[in-house]
């Protein structure tokens, strides 16, 4: 193929990208939320090519609209070796907000974009597969419920006779 012979070196891409992320947890009890966020930050720090530089946990607060439910968040500053690691942690941990702090300009080759988009496609296909399985299981459960309800109504009519 003619397009592949002029492929640039991956070293032309920007390295060491600083990112500020906010991760949120909602639920109960409040102590559990803090532990969940601590575990997530630890997992992020253990990701290949990712280093947690700082983290700031906030105290859980009651959600006004939902009695006994709490929300809390953690601000995490990370440095990733390459943009693909940033794409992976965003897709894997789904922060509610992220901001690239440095560098101001990020150079990315077409190979870098390919890695990001293929990572996105893999995850989207997993979600699609899960959604399809859930739809099939839902249909099976609905059919079983209809059958049970139909059988119950038949038996009820027989008893009245």
Domain ranges of the chain: 8-108, 109-161
* Nearest alpha-carbon partner for 82 in 49, 38, 119: 49
Enter the pTM of the model: 0.72
Least trusted range by pLDDT, from 4-8, 29-33, 56-60, 119-123? 4-8
Contact 22, 75 (CB under 8 A): yes
Per-residue pLDDT, averaged over 42-49, amounts to 96
Answer with the residue of higher pLDDT: 161 or 70: 70
Which of the pair, 117 or 153, is modelled with greater confidence? 117
Cα separation of 87 and 100, whole Å? 12
Which CATH superfamily groups domain 8-108? ACT-like. Chain A, domain 2 (3.30.70.1150)
Question: Does residue 6 surpass a pLDDT of 50?
Answer: no
């Amino acid at each position: 193929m003619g397009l592949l012979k002029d492929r640039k070196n991956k070293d032309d891409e920007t390295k060491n990208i600083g990112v500020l992320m906010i991760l949120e947890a909602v639920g109960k009890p409040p102590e559990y939320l803090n532990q969940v966020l601590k575990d997530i930050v630890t997992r992020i720090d253990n990701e290949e090519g990712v280093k947690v530089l700082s983290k700031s946990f906030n105290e859980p607060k009651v959600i006004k609209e939902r009695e006994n439910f709490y929300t809390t968040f953690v601000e995490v500053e990370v440095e990733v070796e390459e943009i693909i690691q940033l794409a992976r942690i965003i897709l894997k941990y789904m922060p509610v907000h992220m901001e690239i702090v440095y560098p101001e300009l990020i150079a990315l080759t077409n190979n870098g974009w390919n890695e990001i988009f293929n990572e996105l496609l893999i995850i989207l296909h997993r979600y699609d597969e899960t959604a399809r399985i859930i739809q099939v299981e839902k249909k099976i459960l609905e059919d079983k419920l209809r059958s049970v309800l139909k059988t119950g109504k038949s038996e009820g009519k027989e008893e009245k006779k």
